[in-house]
Amino acid sequence: MDSARRLIQLWLIHGYLDLMFLLRNPRPLLLYTFGDAVMGLGSVASVILLSERFGGLGDWSRGEILFLGAYGMLLSGVMEMFFGYNIFFVSRRIGRGQLDHSLLQPRSLASALLTEGFVPFSGCGGLIAGLVMTTLAIATLNVTPEPIWYAWLVLQLFASAVVLLSFTAILGALAFWAPRGAEELNSSTARLFWTFRGFPLDRVAEPARTGLLTILPIGFTAWAPAKSLVTAVPTASAYLATPMAAAIFATIAIVVFRGGLRHYARTGSSRYSDFGHRR
pLDDT tens series, the chain, 279 aa: 678 889 999 999 999 998 888 888 777 677 767 776 676 666 666 666 666 666 667 778 888 888 888 898 899 889 989 998 888 889 888 888 888 888 888 888 999 999 999 999 888 878 888 888 888 888 888 777 788 899 999 999 999 999 999 999 999 999 999 888 888 787 778 777 877 777 888 888 889 999 989 998 999 998 999 998 887 666 778 889 999 999 999 999 999 999 999 999 888 877 777 665 665
| Count of domains observed in the chain | 1
144 close to 58: Cβ distance less than 8 angstroms: no
pLDDT digits (tens, 9 = 90+) for 120-153: 988 887 888 888 888 888 888 877 778 889 999 9
- Domain-embedded: residue 97: yes
- Give 38: exposed, middle or buried? Use CB within 10 Å, 0-12, 13-18, 19+: middle
- Domain-embedded: residue 275: no
182 close to 89: Cβ distance less than 8 angstroms: no
- Domain-embedded: residue 225: yes
- Domain-embedded: residue 31: yes
- Domain-embedded: residue 278: no
- Domain-embedded: residue 80: yes
Domain of 180 in residue numbering reads as 2-267
CB neighbour list of residue 173: distance below 8 Å, 6 or more residues apart? 90, 91, 94, 182, 253, 256, 257, 259, 260
Nearest residue to 76 via CA among 141, 186, 164? 164
- Domain-embedded: residue 279: no
Please state at what angle helix 223-230 crosses helix 147-173, rounded to 10 degrees.
170
- Domain-embedded: residue 203: yes
